[in-house]
Amino acid sequence: MTQTLTLRRPDDWHLHLRDGDMMRAVLPHTATHFARAIIMPNLVPPVVTGADASAYRDRIMAALPAGSGFTPLMTLYLTEDTDAEDVAAAHASGLIHAVKLYPAGATTNSASGVANFNKVAHVFEKMAEIGLPLCTHGEVTDPSVDIFDREAAFIERVMDPIRRAHPDLRVIMEHITTSDAVDYVKSADKNLAATITTHHLVINRNHILAGGIKPHYYCLPVAKRESHRLALRAAATSGDARFFLGTDSAPHTDANKLLPCGCAGCFTAPNTMSILAEVFEQEGALDKLEAFTSLNGPAYYGLPANADTITLTREGPRYPAAIDTPDGPVTVFDPDMPLNWSVV
Ligand code: NCD
Ligand code: ZN
C-alpha cells in the first residue's frame, strides 16, 4: 500500500481570502500547502479596477507569513461599467490573471455583478483578443428557476450564448456542481475548462438537509443530488485536463453561518489536500491527483507547473475543527470526516 505521495505543489484556482483580520487568519492555511491561488474579487466594495487589485495584492503580500513563497493571482470583478482598457492594462502588467463574472445577486457580495450581459460584450471581445480568461459563477438569478436547476439554466441561457458570440474567449466554469456542467465542458474542444471544489466531491444535498439542517454544508452553488456528485468525482479523478481544483474555500464566522439567514460558503483551506487524497484513493485514482491539483490548472492558465513538491503521508491529519479570528471562530469543512492522509 502506498505510504507517501509526492506531488508538484498544488495551486488553488478559486479562493476567497477576504480582507483585514479575516484575511490574516485564513491566509496561512492556504499559503502553507498551495503555491498560488486565483483570488476572488468579491470584497465589499468589490475589486473592480486594476488599482483596486494592485492595492488588494499589496495587502495580501503584507499579511503573508514570513518566508512564504505564496503568490496571489489577482482577478477583477466584472461590472456593467468595467473599462476594457483598464482590464487590458492590468493584464499586460502581469497583475491580473482572470476576470470574474457574477450574475447580479447570485451569491455573497455579488450585488454589483452583471444583469445585462450585452453591456459587457466589448469587455469579452477585448479579453478574447488578449487571451485573458473569464471565470464564471454559473447560476442564473431568475427567482422563478429552482435553486437546484440554476446551474443547468445558466449553461443554456448565459454560458452557451457567450461562448458562441465569443469563440476565442477562454472560459473557466467555476465550482461546477452538476453532470450537466461536466457534459458541457466535455463537449467543448477548446477554450473551456472547469474548476471543482473539494466539498462538492464529498457532499450531496442530503448532507445539508436530511436529519436536521447543516449550515456548515451550505454553499453556492448549492450541492446537488448524488448522481451529480458522482459525475463530479468521475470528472475530477479522470485526469481530463479540462478539470482542476478550485476550492472555493469561503470563510464566514460561525456567527454568520448559524443564523436564520446564514451565509453561503465552506472553509476548506486547512483540510483540502487531505480530503482530496482520500477521495482520489477511494476512486482508485491516486495517480491522477497531481493532474487535478497541480498540472491541469496551470496548463489552462498558461503558467508553468510549480517546480517544488509537497508530500502527504498515510496518517490521520491534524488540523483544528475551527480557527480563531478576531471576529469569532470559523469552522473548518467537515472536521470529523475520517481521513488517512496528511500533508507533511
Ligand atoms: C462565496 C463567498 O462566501 O464569498 N460563497 C460560496 O458559497 N461559495 C461566494 C461564491 O463563490 O459563490
Ligand atoms: Zn467562490
pLDDT in tens, 49-89: 999 999 999 999 999 999 999 999 999 999 999 999 999 99
Indicate the helix (H) or strand (E) that contains 60. helix 50-63
The pLDDT, as a whole number, for residue 234 is 98
The pLDDT, as a whole number, for residue 32 is 97
- Measured from the CB, is residue 42 less than 6 Å from ligand 1? yes
Which residue's CA is the nearest one to ligand 1's atom 9? 108
Ligand nearest to the CA of 263: 1
**CA dihedral in degrees (201, 217, 35, 63; nearest 10)?**
180
Ligand 1 mutation pick, 219, 257, 268, 331, max ligand atoms within 8 A of CB: 219
The pLDDT, as a whole number, for residue 2 is 85
- CA separation, residue 25 to residues 20, 43, 115, 209, 333 (Å): 9, 16, 34, 30, 16
The pLDDT, as a whole number, for residue 206 is 98
Closest residue by Cα to residue 10 from 293, 268, 235 = 293
DSSP 20: H
- Residue-wise pLDDT for 294-331, tens only, equals 999 999 999 999 999 999 999 998 899 999 999 999 99
The residue whose grid cell reads 450585488 is: 111
Q: Mapped to the 3 state alphabet, what secondary structure does 251-271 carry? A: CCCHHHHCCCCCCCCECCCCC
Q: 250: which 3 cell numbers?
A: 469561503
DSSP 25: H
Q: Which residues of the chain have pLDDT under 70?
A: none
The pLDDT, as a whole number, for residue 107 is 79
Q: Could you confirm whether 254 is annotated as catalytic? A: no
Report phi then psi at 159, rounded to 5.
-65, -50
Point out the ligand 1 atom lying closest to the alpha carbon of residue 42: 4
- Measured from the CB, is residue 137 less than 6 Å from ligand 1? yes
Ligand nearest to the CA of 265: 1
Check the CA dihedral 1-298-52-76 and report its sign.
negative
The pLDDT, as a whole number, for residue 291 is 98
The verdict on whether omega for the bond into residue 103 sits within 30 degrees of 0, i.e. cis, is: no
The residue whose grid cell reads 477554450 is: 191
- What 3-state class would DSSP assign to 284? coil
- Measured from the CB, is residue 220 less than 6 Å from ligand 1? yes
Composition of the chain by helix, strand, coil, percent to 5: 40, 15, 45
Distance, CA 264 to ligand 1 centroid (Å)?
6
Report phi then psi at 116, rounded to 5.
-110, 105
CB 138 within 8 A of CB 155: yes
Record the pTM.
0.97
- Measured from the CB, is residue 208 less than 6 Å from ligand 1? no
- Measured from the CB, is residue 52 less than 6 Å from ligand 1? no
Q: Which of 248, 254, 308, 336 is catalytic?
A: 248
- Measured from the CB, is residue 197 less than 6 Å from ligand 1? no
Ligand nearest to the CA of 38: 2
Q: 174: which 3 cell numbers?
A: 467555476
- Measured from the CB, is residue 177 less than 6 Å from ligand 1? no
The residue whose grid cell reads 491534524 is: 318
Distance, CA 155 to ligand 2 centroid (Å)?
18
Q: How many CB atoms lie within 10 A of CB 217?
A: 21
Closest residue by Cα to residue 205 from 167, 234, 177, 242 = 177
Check the CA dihedral 19-12-214-106 and report its sign.
positive
The pLDDT, as a whole number, for residue 317 is 85
